Structure formats: C-alpha cells, structure tokens
Amino acid sequence: MIAEEIHKITSQLPKGVRLVAVSKYHPTEAIREAFNASQRLFGESHAQELQRKHAELADLEAEGLEWHFIGHLQTNKVKYIAPYVSLIHSADSLHLLEEINRQALKAGRIIRCLMQLHVAAEETKFGFTPDEGLTFLEGGAWQQLNGIEFAGVMAMATNTDDLAHRQADFHRARLFFEQAQRDYFPQSFKELSMGMTDDWHLAVDEGATIIRIGTQIFGERIYT
Ligand SMILES: *Cc1c(COP(=O)(O)O)cnc(C)c1O
C-alpha cells in the first residue's frame, strides 16, 4: 500500500518536483516501509515526535533519510532538531528565525528554511501574509542571520472544496516566491513547498517544487 502510493505519486511528478512523505502520527515501521520504497524525505510537525523518530531511525539517516520540519515550531524546541533537520518549512517570524540561527551556529551548521506564507482564508494558520513577508524582507534584519539559508516559501491553501479558491491561494504564494527570489534571493530561493493529499495536483500546476503528502501515503492519522 505505502509503496504503491509513493510510486503512484512520484510517477506523476514533473522532473525536479520532490515528494515529502508526511509521517507525523505514523509509526517508524511505516517510515521504514516507505524508505524501502525509495522514499528519502520525511516531514514531521512535532519536535518531540521527530526527536524520538530521529533516534529510532539513525540507521536510515546514515543511508540517506532526511527530516523536514513542517509544523509550527516553538522557539524552545528548536534546539532539539537543529543538529540534524534538513529543511524547516515553517519559519513564520523573525523571532523564530533568530532562534533557529542561534541553534544553527551552535551546531556548526547552516539550516535551510522556508518562509511560511499565510495565503489561506482560515484565521488559525501560521505564517507571514504576503504583505508581512515583504515588510520582513524590506526590514533587512534577516541579513544578520548567517546560520540560515533562505531557501524558499511554504504555503497551505484554504481548506475548501472550491478548487479555484485553492488554486488562487497557491498562485499568490507563487507570486510572492517569484518576487522574493528576484529581489532578495536570486541564488538561494529554490523551493516552493505546497500541495497536500487533496490538492497536490493543483499545487504542481502552480509551480510547486516540493509537495507534502501524508494521508494518501500512510492513511488516516490517529490522533492520540
Ligand atoms: C499534516 C500536514 C501535511 C499532510 O497533509 P495530508 O492531507 O495528510 O496529505 C502537509 N503539510 C503540513 C504543513 C501538514 O501539517
């Protein structure tokens, strides 16, 4: 099942678009199964859960497994994941970026981060609105953050059946990505992370370079 779904998805992805298998709330056996089906990038959204899986799957990390952090990250949890996380999709404030920077320097590495953009209609989702994102970039404080590589943008669309609405959300994320790439990060901005189980085809059409899929691969999550 897991292997079939991964193959089904990856065989439809244009060249250069990568799949992050979102393994949050799923056991490490499921991650091993996906790894055996050639999946290498895994997304987690809770620092403690990632910390436990990192310890349990050290053997796979040695063979190329990479962890992406995709959920809201509290500043006091950054230290747990800074030594090994491969990409943080959910950088949503200067305050958080400053702490990631501090922990990156402490760990002797540069951590790749995506600016999380808030383009969805829901109030509860984290991230910079496009206007806040531009203000953040114009402010320039980020230039001090030598432990961070600004690698692109992550966004989620509004949770709605109206696909045109979701597409418009993705489109706004893409416009922000392109503007920030042109004006601030012509070298380092490479990733546009958007698209989940219900909308990844739309996101790919709008230029996503990373899609994040959980349910389609691993089934429904059981929240305990
Ligand atoms: C859980 C999660 C996903 C995966 O969602 P599915 O609908 O299960 O594919 C993707 N991105 C983020 C940020 C998530 O928190």
pLDDT tens-digit readout, 140-195: 999 999 999 999 999 999 999 999 999 999 999 999 999 999 999 999 999 999 99
Is 196 a pocket residue for ligand 1 (Cβ < 6 Å)?
A: yes
CA distance 139 to 142: 8
Could you tell me where the beta strands, DSSP code E, fall in the chain?
A: 18-22, 41-44, 66-69, 87-91, 111-118, 148-156, 191-193, 210-213
- Ligand 1: residue of 45, 114, 119 to mutate (most ligand atoms within 8 A of CB) is 45
> Is 217 touching ligand 1 by the criterion CB < 6 Å?
no
**Is 224 a domain residue?**
no
Per-residue pLDDT reduced to its tens digit, 21-52: 999 999 999 999 999 999 999 999 999 999 99
Q: 197 CB under 6 A from ligand 1? A: yes
Q: Is residue 223 one of the residues assigned to a domain?
A: no
Please tell me if the CB atom of residue 31 comes closer than 6 angstroms to any atom of ligand 1. no
Number of CB atoms found within 10 A of residue 128's CB = 23
With 80 as the cut, is the pLDDT of residue 224 above it?
Answer: no
| Residue 151 near ligand 1, beta carbon < 6 Å | no
Report the distance separating Cα 141 and Cα 94, nearest Å.
8
Q: Is residue 202 part of a domain?
A: yes
- The predicted pLDDT at position 124 comes to 66
Question: Is residue 173, in this structure, part of any structural domain at all?
Answer: yes
Q: What is the CA(213)–ligand 1 centre distance, in A?
A: 6
Q: Tell me the per-residue pLDDT of 87-98, one tens digit each, with 9 for 90 and over.
A: 999 999 999 999
Residue 59: give the domain boundaries. 2-6+17-218
Here the tokens at position 73 are 């990250």
Question: Does 154 sit in the ligand 1 pocket, CB within 6 Å?
Answer: no
Number of domains observed in the structure of the chain = 1
The Cα–Cα gap between 96 and 75 comes to: 6
Within-domain flag for 84: yes
**pLDDT at position 223 over 90:** no
pLDDT tens-place string over residues 49-61? 999 999 999 999 9
Q: Is the pTM of this model over 0.85?
A: yes
Q: How confident is the model at residue 222 (pLDDT cuts 50, 70, 90)?
A: confident
Residue 213 CB less than 6 A away from ligand 1: yes
Which domain CATH number covers 21? Answer: 3.20.20.10
User: Residue 12: inside a domain, yes or no?
Assistant: no
Residue 74 CA: distances (Å) to CA of 71, 151, 179, 219: 9, 20, 28, 27
pLDDT for res 54:
98
CA distance 123 to 205: 26
* Cα separations in angstroms, 76 against 60, 113, 147: 27, 17, 17
Question: pLDDT digits over 98-149, tens only?
Answer: 999 999 999 999 999 999 999 999 876 689 999 999 999 999 999 999 999 9
